[in-house]
Each structure stands twice: as C-alpha cells, then as structure tokens.
Amino acid sequence: MSKVRQQLSDVRLVRGDLLDQGSLISAVERVQPDEVYNLAAISYVPMSWSQAELTGEVTGLGVLRVLEAIRVCSGISASRTPGRGQIRFYQASSSEMFGQVRESPQTEGTAFHPRSPYGVAKVYGHFLTQNYRESYGMYAVSGILFNHESPRRGAEFVSRKVSLAAAKIKLGLDRQLRLGNLSASRDWGFAGDYVRAMQLMLVQEQPEDYVIGTGVTHTVQSLVERAFEVAGLNWRDHVVCDAAFIRPAEVDQLCADASKARQRLGWEPATKFEDLVTMMVESDLELLSAPGGLADDSFGHDVW
C-alpha cells in the first residue's frame, strides 16, 4: 500500500455542514478533538459577487457556528464559566482582508479594507475568532495567510489555471490561455510550508494571530512568464486578455511581513516562487501525459 493510501486509510470522515449548527455540535461531541482547523469556505473570490449571501453564510457565519460548537461542547457558558479542557481552534483568515492596502508590506496590525464579499466575510470570521478568545478565554487564533498554492490547487485559481494551460499547450492539447488582470501582484507561497505554520500556531503558550507569507510579490504576468518558460514556450504566443475575468473591484497588490511568525514561531517559507511554479507546471505535464490524465473534465474550466 502506498504511503498516501496508508495515511488516507487512517483518516475517519465525520459529516458536518457549516450551514447547520446541530451537525457541527454533533461532530465535535463525537470526535472530542484537541484541535479544530476551520479551512472551509467559499474561497473563490469571483464567486463571492455572484453568490454574496451564500458567501456570508458559509465563509462568515460558518466561523460563528464552529466556534459555538466548540464553546458548547467545552461546557463554556455564555457567562464565561470555565469549561472542560480546551479545544484549540484555528481560523483560516486571508490576506484578502487587506484588500486596498493601507501600507506595504502588511502586518498583523495593518488595517483591513476588503474588496469583495469574500474579503468582508473573512473580516467577520477574523474578528469573531478574536472576540471568542477575549470573551471566553478560548485558545482561538487566526492565521492571516497570503496566497498559497500547490499542484493540488483548484483549476479556477490563477496559479493552477496557468500551470495547466502551459502544460496543455506544450502537449498540443490546447492553444490559448484567456486571463484577466495581468498586473495584479500577489505574495505566492507553497501550501505545504503554510500548513506547517498553522500547526505551529496551535502549540504556543498564548493564542495569537499571525501573518504568513514570503515577503516577495510577483505580478500575474511574471507567474505566466515563469510557467511558460518552464514548459519551453513563449507566453506572448498564447495568452489573451479577456475582460470577462476582470473583477468588479480588484486587490492590486499584496505583500506579507511575516516577521512575527519568524520570531515567535521560528517559521520560514522553504519554497521560492520560481520553484513553486516549476513544481506546478512539471506536475501538470506529468498528470496530463499519464493515461486518463484528462479524465477530470473540470481541468482548465473557470467557474465564474
């Protein structure tokens, strides 16, 4: 049995729905966890304009429901009677909360100015996590994570859309890549490095929030240039700008100052942008070259 299969067979799935308070209480009661990581959300920013209410329910109020499930199952009453033991809670906050940035790079103290219903919902979840920490003494923290990518990234996000397109064009399976704003900049890191940071945040003496990012920012165009270079292609021969992918309000530039995480958690990103893009393009070339590699028809389709 492969290592991944072995690990998956150790995983027990328990049903729960962020829209259903009772299901979350049942899940926490049943599992009796030491740690809860809330990574669930409607996370694709453009979808948050077309389904703004659902985004508020899932990405925003969903955080309230998880925190309430932990509070109730820990026996913490609304008047703050001490509970049984402590379930530690991690909330996936997002650099999208900085939106139209007030300063650069962004730290834990930078004011928020979200630019999408998604960003607004994340700000609600962020402050609610802080509020439960202050109101109930819960070990509840937010990681303000900047964009983190890997070969497992969904095909609707720009990094994977680009790596898949470069691989498809290289293999003669496609000819063109249609993109929106090429001049937006993001601080892209490797998801594996960021998961390490999440775990570190839950094993500290004091619960605190942390910014996690590389401190280096690149434009979408440089992402495209790098991906096509890895595939041995000239991006200018294939990339077309399409207004359909321009957002109603854009986050122009994000760049993390993760000094606090470096000093207090001893966390450093291990993967550079160039290596991340190379890893993604090579993985997609391998995937698409394998028999049945194109079986998943969702590859390369933007869900707008």
Q: Among 144, 90, 118, which Cα is nearest to 255's? A: 144
| Contact range with ligand G4F by CB under 6 A, out of 26-34, 126-134, 194-202, 242-250 | 242-250
Q: Among 14, 44, 146, which Cα is nearest to 93's? A: 146
Please name the residues in contact with 38: beta carbons below 8 A apart, sequence gap of 6 or more: 62, 63, 66, 89, 90, 91, 92, 125
193 contacts ligand G4F (rule: CB under 6 A): no
Q: How many residues bind ligand G4F (CB under 6 A)?
A: 23
| Contact range with ligand G4F by CB under 6 A, out of 19-27, 47-55, 91-99, 275-283 | 91-99
247 contacts ligand G4F (rule: CB under 6 A): yes
Which one of residues 55, 95, 163, 271 is an interface residue with ligand G4F (CB under 6 A)?
Answer: 95
Task: Tell me how far, at minimum, the Cβ of 156 lies from ligand G4F, in Å.
Answer: 6
Active site residue 96: yes
Is 86 in contact with 136 (CB distance < 8 Å)? no
Sequence-ordered alpha helix ranges (H) in the chain: 3-9, 21-31, 47-50, 52-55, 62-73, 117-136, 158-170, 191-201, 220-230, 259-260, 273-289
Chain residues 33-52 in contact with ligand G4F, contact rule CB under 6 A:
43, 45
Which one of residues 51, 107, 131, 181 is an interface residue with ligand G4F (CB under 6 A)?
Answer: 181
Within a 10 A sphere around the Cβ of 194, how many other Cβ atoms?
A: 23
Which one of residues 33, 137, 180, 293 is an interface residue with ligand G4F (CB under 6 A)?
Answer: 180
Which one of residues 66, 179, 198, 279 is an interface residue with ligand G4F (CB under 6 A)?
Answer: 179
Pairing of β 185-186 and β 218-219? antiparallel
> The tokens of 294 are what?
């194109």
96 contacts ligand G4F (rule: CB under 6 A): yes
How far apart are alpha carbons 223 and 203 in whole angstroms? 34
Nearer to ligand G4F, 232 or 248 (CB): 248
127 contacts ligand G4F (rule: CB under 6 A): no
Question: Which residue among the candidates 43, 90, 93, 118 is catalytic per the annotation?
Answer: 118
Active site residue 94: yes
User: What DSSP designation does 58 have?
Assistant: I
Pairing of β 88-94 and β 189-190? unpaired
136 contacts ligand G4F (rule: CB under 6 A): no
Active site residue 118: yes
Catalytic residues: 94, 96, 118
Q: Which residues bind ligand G4F (CB under 6 A)?
A: 43, 45, 94-96, 146-147, 156-159, 161, 179-181, 184, 186, 220, 245, 247, 250-251, 302
